[in-house]
Structure 1
Amino acid sequence: MSDDKTYLPAITKQVTDLVLAGSLSHAEEAFSEAAEQHGDFAVAEVLSTIPPQVTALHLAGFDGGKTSLATLLVPPRAWADSLAFIAATWPDDMIEDDPERIAESLFAHVHGVVFATDDEDRRRELLAEASATDHGATVFAILFSMSPKEVLEVAQEVIQKGPYITGQTSSDSDIVPLAIELVKSSEDGWDRALFELFPDFRHSADLADAEFSDDPDEEPRFLQRSTKELLYRLRKQVPSTRTAPRRGTRKSMGTKIFG
């Protein structure tokens, strides 16, 4: 592979134009050609330089069931930044009408990127980068909202066993392995996601003592944000195209980012 990177601006423009035109398959072909000619580094480099809203639009077209070079090679920081824009790819009425479907699609996206390879270092870097942002904490809270009881059981085990957690819960929810990986990747990121879902609590030990009823009709004993509420919350965090994603902020900048 040559050290000459003069080809990168052309590939970056080509991929960006294709994604914005809705030609995701052609954008993948461009990535594939770049990898063949210049190595995987070229794909990662392009993904680190194209705008995060473009990366979000591209990756939203892929999940764990579809092969994508972008999924395999997106740099952790680039993926973390792109998550700030993922909510802008959702149809306006779907949050209201079918929040569970969006949450499941979001899970497929996150799971597809995190578990795309067997590289544990990459997996933990992806999770650490994503969970270090406000929008990332909201993303994980959305996923955890689909299995709140199991997440509380994980929280209890984290308090009791620390890094030696096994992830054994009362069900075989697909959310649990992702939660365990987040715990191992970033304790701070894990806490941020927990407190985004359960805002009444400010300490993990409090959550470990909480109980979740098996009766779906019973009112929760403590405040838990619903999947729909969290989806709207993430939508309000989408930055404008003039504003780069920030860490540690909660400002709403609007959602019209592809215009």
Structure 2
Amino acid sequence: MSENSNLPALSKQISELVLAGSLAHAEHAFSEAVEQHGDLAVVEVLATLAPQVTALHLSGFDGGKTSLATLLVPPKAWADSLAFFAATWSDDMIEDDPERVAETLFAHVHGIVFSADEPERRQELLAEASATDHGATVFAILFSMAPKEMLELAGEVLAKGPYITSQTSSDSDVAPLAIELAKASEDGWDRALFELFPDFRHSGDIADAEYNDDPDEEQKFLQRSTKELLYRLRKQVPSSRSNVPKRGVRKSIGTGIFS
């Protein structure tokens, strides 16, 4: 498929359609490419699109909407595109309803990760996304929607390791995604936890922490709010001088499997 001379033209066409807001037409172009050349043609095109274009296209297919791009986007391309999701968030959006912004982000991440029942692809997506600084912040935002459950889950992960299952005492929608992340990348799981709970540097400390349900009392440990994390992610949006996000230089604080 890489020798097909039509692919550069298709990449250009898709980019122009997405930037013009014609997501349905872009998706139609993907469908025609699949019919003519097979799935690999779309995979190759998605791998060559600018990450901000991929982010713009995928953002239009959150939740229950289906998309060939959602099903076929390469893990690395998706991981890079996540850096641009906060580019359209205004101060008013973050200030007025940070939970709604976080829920939109969750719908996107959950939709990509669970778009197909392929454990290997799911693990690749989560491992690639959580290996970046912006990815760690994305998952921390999602975890901030259920901080108590994440602390409890940290204890289960520490006790069961790779044998942890999707069955958990938590009824949070975030829990299944968090478990999949912990199974896919111990390092990525740790990075996201420490982004949410910056006082901690070891999983054992987090597992032993007790969450205070009383809103009138401060936690005994620092926990970044959803709003603060949303602002942190927006600051990580690459500038126009650096269009392709690079892997973070943040020191690994997990098991070092990506270092």
Same fold (TM over 0.5): yes
- 1 CA distance for matches of 2:89 and 2:220? 32
- 1 CA distance for matches of 2:167 and 2:10? 46
Contact 1:44–1:74, Cα closer than 8 Å, also in 2:
yes
- 2 CA distance for matches of 1:12 and 1:172? 42
Deviation at 1:241, TM superposition (A): 2.8
Counterpart residue type for residue 70 of structure 1:
A
Q: Kindly tell me: are residues 222 and 167 of structure 1, through their superposed partners in 2, closer, same or farther at Cα, counting changes over 3 Å?
A: farther
Deviations 1:104-138 (A, max 9, x none): 00000000000000010000000000000000000
3-state SS, counterpart of residue 171 of structure 1: coil
The corresponding residue for 2:117 is 118
Deviation at 1:217, TM superposition (A): 3.1
The corresponding residue for 1:248 is 248
- 2 CA distance for matches of 1:29 and 1:92? 34
Deviations 1:12-39 (A, max 9, x none): 0110001111111111111111111111
Contact 2:198–2:222, Cα closer than 8 Å, also in 1:
yes
Counterpart residue type for residue 64 of structure 2:
G
3-state SS, counterpart of residue 60 of structure 2: coil
Query: Given the alignment of the two structures, is residue 186 of structure 1 paired with residue 185 of structure 2, yes or no?
Result: yes
- 2 CA distance for matches of 1:217 and 1:168? 32
- 2 CA distance for matches of 1:180 and 1:56? 25
- 1 CA distance for matches of 2:112 and 2:166? 21
Deviation at 1:165, TM superposition (A): 1.7
Deviation at 1:166, TM superposition (A): 3.4
3-state SS, counterpart of residue 129 of structure 2: helix
Contact 2:154–2:207, Cα closer than 8 Å, also in 1:
yes
Deviation at 1:231, TM superposition (A): 0.3
Counterpart residue type for residue 14 of structure 2:
V
The corresponding residue for 2:126 is 127
- Percent sequence identity is 78
Contact 2:55–2:85, Cα closer than 8 Å, also in 1:
yes
Contact 1:44–1:75, Cα closer than 8 Å, also in 2:
yes
Deviations 1:59-102 (A, max 9, x none): 11111310111100000000000001111133442011111001
- 1 CA distance for matches of 2:237 and 2:191? 18
Deviation at 1:218, TM superposition (A): 2.6
Deviation at 1:103, TM superposition (A): 0.3
- 2 CA distance for matches of 1:190 and 1:9? 37
The corresponding residue for 1:253 is none
The size of the alignment, in residue pairs, is: 249
Query: Given the alignment of the two structures, is residue 239 of structure 1 paired with residue 226 of structure 2, yes or no?
Result: no
3-state SS, counterpart of residue 158 of structure 1: helix
The corresponding residue for 1:257 is none
Counterpart residue type for residue 41 of structure 1:
L
Deviation at 1:220, TM superposition (A): 1.3
Deviations 1:211-251 (A, max 9, x none): 1122233311110000000000000000013312121247x
- 2 CA distance for matches of 1:129 and 1:82? 11
After the TM superposition, which of the residue ranges 2-11 and 154-163 deviates more from structure 2? 2-11
Contact 1:128–1:185, Cα closer than 8 Å, also in 2:
yes
The corresponding residue for 1:45 is 44
Deviations 1:188-228 (A, max 9, x none): 00000000000000000000000112223331111000000
Query: Given the alignment of the two structures, is residue 227 of structure 1 paired with residue 231 of structure 2, yes or no?
Result: no
Counterpart residue type for residue 32 of structure 2:
E
Contact 1:60–1:89, Cα closer than 8 Å, also in 2:
no
Task: Give TM-score scaled by structure 1 length.
Answer: 0.93
The corresponding residue for 1:66 is 65
The corresponding residue for 1:18 is 17
- Name the Cα RMSD after superposition: 1.4
After the TM superposition, which of the residue ranges 240-249 and 150-159 deviates more from structure 2? 240-249
Query: Given the alignment of the two structures, is residue 209 of structure 1 paired with residue 235 of structure 2, yes or no?
Result: no
